[in-house]
Amino acid sequence: MARFSLRYALPDAVGQGKLLPHLLLLYVCTVVFQIAFHTYDSLWRYAESREYLSLLMAAFWGFCVYEIISRAVIRSVMSFVLLTAIASVWVLGMLLMRFTYRVYRNQVMHRRGSHRLPVAIIGAGAAGVQLLGELQSNADSRYQVQCFFDDDRSKVGKRIHGVEVKGTIRDIPTRLRAMDIRQIIVAIPSISEERRHEILKELSGLDRVKVKVSVLPSTMDLIEQKPIGAQLRDIQIEDLLGREPVRLDSKPVDGYLEGKVVMVTGGGGSIGSELCRQIAKHRPKQLVIVDIYENNAYDIQQELLYIYKNKLDLAVEIASIRDGERVRQLFAHYRPDVVFHAAAHKHVPLMEQSPQEAVRNNVFGTLNLVRAADEYGVGKFIQISTDKAVNPTSVMGATKRLCEMILQSMRGRSKTTFAAVRFGNVLGSNGSVVPLFKRQIAAGGPVTITDKRIIRYFMTIPEAAQLVLQAGAMAKQNELYVLDMGQPVKILDLAENLIRLSGYVPYRDIQIVETGLRPGEKLYEELLVASRDIEKTENDQIFVERQPGITPEELRDKLAVLAAALDQNNPGIIRETLHQVVPTFHEPEDVNPERGEEVKAPEVAVEKAVGVACGSAAQ
């Protein structure tokens, strides 16, 4: 019977000792198509359906070409039954080898994974599944994925690569208490900032569970060529603001920066350096960075040279804006078309101790720049101001209010368009509270806040820079611009959420200590002074406040009184004089609520300004 079967399986040409050439031809044809389909280039530990389909297609075409050659050239063929049997064994052998390798590797990874950090992934969509695959296949991964959570109820109870979808996001608090989860990864890059904030708020309520939270960046920030697992980041304070990032139209900015000489004072600082980065994108004729601190100026210089090389004409000048002659020298040499003035002393408590330095640098330094801008025909001069200039309670705030007055006094007297831009606290800037909180958490605490009632408006450094550039495009008649920064944030809530999302429990793992208000510190900040002359601009997020002007004579008298006080070099006299020349300057105790009283957001806020502006328009 065996002979009978073999005789039918092997035709005479093949059966007469010519089976080996047929097998060699079949092997060569298959290998050629394996190479053509790049199956040998695949990393089979990461293989998915596409790789296995390529393997099958290569085998299919290899056998087809063999059949053609064997009939046309050798003029003898194997029977269809034998060819099919060889093909099946061949394909199954290749698949078995690769499956065996993957099973072996997964077993090794599983044994190694016993020492990994148990994590849960929020989001069983494409990004979450891709992240799971990378973490499972990476031998050096620190994470062992235990489960998914997803709001799609049709996925609950299902398994993805062996990992179960335990429940919805609302189920996390109850589910985690029964599991040994040490970290949660939010892997939904396409969600809105509001929804991300809601999820993080839900996670920050896990008071009795020590879980650290990491997130994937938004879809816009994901880098396509970079593994998704390598783009995980810790919680940033922007994630807790609960609003979409401010994104402004760049076209109007191109109109007044492209092909122009642009100067940035304080260009090495946190705001100034970001201004330089964004200005460089608008193809200026020349970018001039002016700063007194050479290290910061050098850092931003090297960064921009690395990115733009010889495509950006970049100049860096080390100079103090206090030196009027040096300022005039720079303006005469570079003849800037646009100036962004970010150089200033900004640290509130330090300026309380050294008011003379705040006055010399902030007030008279700005005066030097304004005079030079007028003398050398600068097109636009944009001053970086602060919400602390509104009804100031600090020397720093009072000096910045005086800077706004200096710009206002130039209205109608100069061909230069002067404008000021006010915004609140900038996240991540030098002296910001957030980097301090992170350092304190990393050190094991305590986290220190001056008063648990403090509320602040926040924005990111890129948002602040965008606002300044946009205001420069809008500026026409010495306006004062303000950004709608949403709802103010309570600093205590900020500290507690940051502690929880860093994997600790507030007041148990890390204490929050109240140290008392610092000199000049106010419990709340305002964005607008009490004025009814508030208007909306073409951008819904930017408002302009038109304040009563100040005459050059009034300003000259104020500055003369202040200069005389400065000559005495007495901090007390300088502070009294600031009260005299800035009528809205008050002591903190005059405006801060008494101890134990609740602090509410000031009534004069941007949201109310919309109503005021609309009401004025209706009249």
> Which residues are CB-neighbours of 417 under 8 A, at least 6 positions away?
379, 380, 381, 475, 476, 477, 478
The dihedral formed by the CA atoms of 324, 330, 333 and 336, expressed in degrees to the nearest 10 = -110
Q: Which tokens sit at 609?
A: 């300004």
Q: Which residues pair with 583 in a beta bridge?
A: none
Query: Residue 168: exposed, middle, or buried by beta-carbon count in 10 A (0-12, 13-18, 19+)?
Result: middle
Cα–Cα–Cα angle for 174, 179, 185, nearest 5°? 85
Q: pLDDT band for 216, please (50, 70, 90 cuts).
A: confident
Chain position carrying tokens 């029977």:
79
Picking from 559, 561, 529, 558, the residue whose alpha carbon sits closest to that of residue 546 is: 529
Query: Residue 303: exposed, middle, or buried by beta-carbon count in 10 A (0-12, 13-18, 19+)?
Result: middle
% residues pLDDT > 70 (the chain): 74
pLDDT in tens, 494-520: 888 788 777 788 888 889 998 887 777
Q: Does residue 125 surpass a pLDDT of 90? A: no
Q: Let me know: does 486 contact 561? Beta carbons within 8 Å.
A: no
Q: Let me know: does 523 contact 454? Beta carbons within 8 Å.
A: yes
CA distance 442 to 423: 29
Q: Does residue 617 surpass a pLDDT of 60? A: no
pLDDT at position 607, please?
Answer: 39
Q: Let me know: does 275 contact 470? Beta carbons within 8 Å.
A: no
More confident residue, 309 or 425: 309
Q: Does residue 222 surpass a pLDDT of 60? A: no
pLDDT at position 108, please?
Answer: 58
> Which residues are CB-neighbours of 207 under 8 A, at least 6 positions away?
500, 505, 506
Picking from 408, 403, 400, the residue whose alpha carbon sits closest to that of residue 477 is: 408
* Per-residue buried b or exposed e for 457-491, using 16+ beta carbons within 10 Å of the residue's own CB: bbbbbbbbbbbbbbbbbbbeebbbbbbbbbebbbb
Q: What is the mean pLDDT of residues 588-601?
A: 60
pLDDT at position 265, please?
Answer: 97
Q: Which tokens sit at 223?
A: 């880098």
Instruction: Give catalytic residue positions.
Output: 388
pLDDT at position 582, please?
Answer: 93
Q: Which amino acid is at 372?
A: A
- Stretch (H or E) spanning 494: helix 491-501
Q: What is the mean pLDDT of residues 460-475?
A: 84
pLDDT at position 292, please?
Answer: 95
pLDDT in tens, 64-84: 887 777 777 766 666 667 767
pLDDT at position 290, please?
Answer: 97
pLDDT at position 161, please?
Answer: 79
pLDDT in tens, 509-567: 889 998 887 777 767 666 554 445 567 777 777 788 777 778 999 999 999 999 999 99
Q: Does residue 139 surpass a pLDDT of 70? A: no
DSSP 113-131: GGGSEEEEEE--SHHHHHH
pLDDT in tens, 30-53: 777 777 777 665 555 555 566 667
Q: What is the mean pLDDT of residues 464-480?
A: 84
CA distance 386 to 424: 6
How confident is the prediction for the chain on average, in pLDDT?
Answer: 78
Q: Which tokens sit at 207?
A: 């008071």
Chain position carrying tokens 């199956």:
39
Q: Does residue 116 surpass a pLDDT of 90? A: no
Cα–Cα–Cα angle for 393, 398, 402, nearest 5°? 160
pLDDT at position 39, please?
Answer: 67
Model confidence, pTM = 0.69
More confident residue, 372 or 205: 372
Q: How far is CA 578 from the centre of its chain?
A: 38
pLDDT at position 7, please?
Answer: 44
Low-confidence winner among 487-491, 528-532, 610-614 (lowest mean pLDDT): 610-614
pLDDT at position 168, please?
Answer: 86
DSSP 228-267: GGGG-EE--GGGGS-SPPP---SHHHHHHHTTSEEEEETT
pLDDT at position 609, please?
Answer: 36
% residues pLDDT > 90 (the chain): 29
Peptide bond into 217 cis (omega under 30): no
Q: Does residue 10 surpass a pLDDT of 50? A: no
pLDDT at position 55, please?
Answer: 73
pLDDT at position 207, please?
Answer: 58
